[in-house]
Amino acid sequence: SAGKRARHSHDKQATKSMKKELASILRKEAMHPVLLVDMSKRQRKKILKSCMVLKEKFDLQGNFVKLKSKLVVDGKQQEHPTRMAALFISLVVAAHEGRKASLHDVGTAYLDTEMTGDLVHVALDKVMTGLLLKIKPEYKNFVTHNGEIIMKLDKALYGCVQSERLWNDKLVSVLERDGF
């Protein structure tokens, strides 16, 4: 995959980028560790996997500039996978009505969105756990028998099925408050 290729091609930068992403998540108080023994059997069954997605960034001349990392939850494990159909339908309607549409990226948008509803727990693999412990050594007591740390999500993360809806609700609220 592109992420594995990026990690092997730029090992030191990959580690630095992944640590930066984890530090950003912690700074935004997006998740905190939990002990397996404090979780119900039902909660333990619903722990989601996560992965760090790495993307190489290039300048206009095609020269490598940096790696960007993003911790992503495997939302496919959740019951109601998100669909791109709503986006495509909106674009088709906008085109049919002659409206202009644009796409905007709001950096770390989901990390500014509180999780609501069902509790979501995510397992950080051994590599992410190792990096996390370099940032927060006090989390060592949360490491499971297989070398992972289980984190409860307090803010939305990419990949969770509810993250898109929660971010949209927040965006709509802010836009309406500002008179849109």
Strands (E), 35-120: 48-58, 64-73
On whether the pTM is more than 0.85, the answer is no
How high is the pLDDT of residue 32? 97
Helix-strand-coil split of the chain, %, nearest 5: 45, 20, 35
- Burial state string for 123-132 with b = 16 or more CB within 10 A and e = fewer than 16: bbeeebbebb
pLDDT bucket at 12, cuts 50 / 70 / 90: confident
pLDDT: is 34 or 2 the higher one? 34
Q: What's at 25, amino acid-wise?
A: I
Rounded percentage of the chain residues whose pLDDT exceeds 90 = 47
Is 180's pLDDT higher than 80? yes
How high is the pLDDT of residue 66? 87
- How many C-beta atoms lie closer than 10 Å to residue 143's C-beta? 18
Q: Which of 90, 96, 80 lies closest to 163, judged by CA?
A: 80
How high is the pLDDT of residue 127? 92
The predicted-structure confidence for 104-153, as pLDDT tens digits, reads as follows 666 666 777 788 888 899 999 999 999 999 999 999 999 999 999 999 99
Q: Which of 144, 123, 120 lies closest to 42, judged by CA?
A: 120
